[in-house]
Structure 1
Amino acid sequence: MDVGALIIGDELLSGKRQDKHLQALIRLLAARGMKLAWAEYLGDSPARIEAALKRAFADGDLVFSFGGIGATPDDHTRASAARALGVELELHPDAKTIIEGRFGVDAYPHRINMGVFPAGARLIANPVNQIPGFSHGDVHFVPGFPSMAWPMIEAVLDTHYPYLFSASPDVDLTLIAIEAREGDLIDLMQDFVARYPALRFSSLPSFATAERPMQIEFGFTGQSALAAIALAELEKALKARDYTVLPGKSA
């Protein structure tokens, strides 16, 4: 089950604010032996948000959507999610109770809209100001405020997805081949991709500079033991072709 992120807000794309969610989500997942597979930044465009959410609901991934669930005119995520699902928006009864308890008569006419979600939504508790996020299937919607979003994501992961946690998370093992050109090593790369389908293979070439020669950083990502075997075999194969091989930065 891949994990993805939708990070929403014109202020991020205009540079008015710097995104903090991506690195935080990577850290939260890594602490549980999980990895982020993809991320997408979106402005406050209802059509784009709807299209992205249609893909998210259809793909079967575990997705976290950040931002756009407030009650101001530029918050389009709730309505876009309803259209993507083909359902109506409705006031969630538990959200109604929470918002009325928080604001009293001042919940109306606008704040109450923060409890209007696509039909069938489940609430995500907000430990900071009690205004909930919501989930539909494996897509989870949290506010754009980091202090609220991050503990809400931790609660979702720990409550609903412990079966995805890994006690032995994937590692990234790399090595560097000096004076190597990708075009000369396509056959070798294809061989290793076919030989190790359980690993993700990467090739990152770098041009020569005044400080270092031309080189390629090769890497394998996956379970530690298998990645170590693949890396050792690749090193042997490269040396057999007379390349100088150096250790890479592995994690």
Structure 2
Amino acid sequence: MSARRFGLIVIGDELLSGKRRDKHFPKLVELLGARGLELEWVRFISDDAALIEQTLRETLAGGDIVFSCGGIGATPDDRTRACAAAALGVPLERHPDGVAELEARFGGPVTPDQRLRLVEFPQGAAIIPNPVNRVPGFSIREHYFVPGFPNMAWPMIEWVLDHHYAHLHAPGSRTEQAISVDGARESDVIPLMERFVSAHPDLKLSCLPSTEPQGYRLELGLRGPTEAVTPGMEELRAEVERLGFPWTPVEIVPEQ
């Protein structure tokens, strides 16, 4: 797996109020997974300018590859462009390549000036092409800012992944397997898990407990390099059997 980490920021009051349901998080997981990459973290934040600026100051200092969805329009509640500039300590400036995209979109000089706000980006930014309406997003210091509209954001994110990070792609290099363990509680498998995690630092071991009418049940999952997951799962199953618990395989189905 690449040592680079990917993060996601999703911005919008409408998401936190429940008016709309986020679709970017599962889609980015899907887009990264198809390329053998993983999402390490996600933040959902409101349109509050101070919070956006604070968040970007933190993520810009972290060294991760970050996608930010939302808040790059021209209305007063679209604050991401100005907040990114403030977090970077640079002014906003009209991007010439962005202006050219708008002129191609509208067939000539762009008026009124409100439209030109769409291509006012932090000084030093590059544009991200928008295949839907040619109103670009922008990137700076491995932060990639795209619209909140999924039909625009997702192909723009794919363009970034394929244009800038093709060298990190490793399709099929990572996989996940899981088993269901009947009758087991978390306390029954903690020593087993501690030994396993210590012996296999390259694998991510998860434990999802549940209670059923007929008793307790755990789902133990392994995620990591494909060549390590299968032998790791064989070892994990053997350990479960030694504890006296029956298990059954679990089909891993990506959430929609």
Q: Does 1:110 align with 2:114?
A: yes
| SS at structure 2 position matched to 1:214 | strand
Q: Does 1:244 align with 2:243?
A: no
Q: Residue in 2 aligned with 1:139?
A: 143
Gaps of 5+ in 2: none
- Counterpart CA distance in 1 for 2:251 and 2:100 is 52
The one-letter code sitting in structure 2 at the alignment partner of 1:50 is E
- Counterpart CA distance in 2 for 1:28 and 1:6 is 16
- Counterpart CA distance in 2 for 1:228 and 1:128 is 42
Question: Is this contact kept in 2: 1:5–1:64, CA < 8 A?
Answer: yes
Deviation at 1:140, TM superposition (A): 0.2
After TM superposition, the structure 1 stretch with the greater mean CA deviation from structure 2, 173-182 or 156-165, is 173-182
Runs of 4+ in 1 over 4 A off after TM superposition: 103-106
After TM superposition, the structure 1 stretch with the greater mean CA deviation from structure 2, 24-33 or 76-85, is 24-33
| SS at structure 2 position matched to 1:59 | coil
| SS at structure 2 position matched to 1:147 | helix
Q: Residue in 1 aligned with 2:164?
A: 160
Q: Residue in 1 aligned with 2:179?
A: 175
Q: Does 1:67 align with 2:94?
A: no
Q: Residue in 2 aligned with 1:231?
A: 233
| SS at structure 1 position matched to 2:180 | strand
Deviation at 1:106, TM superposition (A): 5.1
1:72-115 CA deviation, whole Å, 9 max, x = no partner?
00001001111111211111122233334544555232111111
Question: Is this contact kept in 1: 2:176–2:223, CA < 8 A?
Answer: yes
- Counterpart CA distance in 1 for 2:238 and 2:131 is 53
Which residues of 2 match residues 67-216 of structure 1 at below 5 A?
67-103=70-106, 104=108, 107-207=111-211, 209-210=212-213, 212-216=214-218
- Counterpart CA distance in 2 for 1:164 and 1:232 is 29
Q: How many pairs align?
A: 249
Q: Residue in 2 aligned with 1:33?
A: 36
- Counterpart CA distance in 2 for 1:101 and 1:240 is 68
RMSD of aligned alpha carbons: 1.7
Deviation at 1:213, TM superposition (A): 2.3
- The TM-score with structure 1 as length reference comes to 0.92
- Counterpart CA distance in 2 for 1:168 and 1:101 is 39
Deviation at 1:121, TM superposition (A): 0.4
| SS at structure 2 position matched to 1:107 | coil
| SS at structure 1 position matched to 2:61 | helix
The one-letter code sitting in structure 2 at the alignment partner of 1:196 is H
| SS at structure 1 position matched to 2:208 | strand
1:126-153 CA deviation, whole Å, 9 max, x = no partner?
1111111000121100111122111111
| SS at structure 2 position matched to 1:171 | strand
1:149-205 CA deviation, whole Å, 9 max, x = no partner?
111111111111011111323111111222212223222111100100001111111
The one-letter code sitting in structure 2 at the alignment partner of 1:143 is P
Question: Is this contact kept in 1: 2:175–2:224, CA < 8 A?
Answer: yes
Q: Residue in 2 aligned with 1:45?
A: 48
1:14 counterpart (14, 17, 25):
17
- Counterpart CA distance in 2 for 1:250 and 1:131 is 38
Percent of aligned positions that are identical = 46
Gaps of 5+ in 1: none
- Counterpart CA distance in 2 for 1:126 and 1:191 is 49
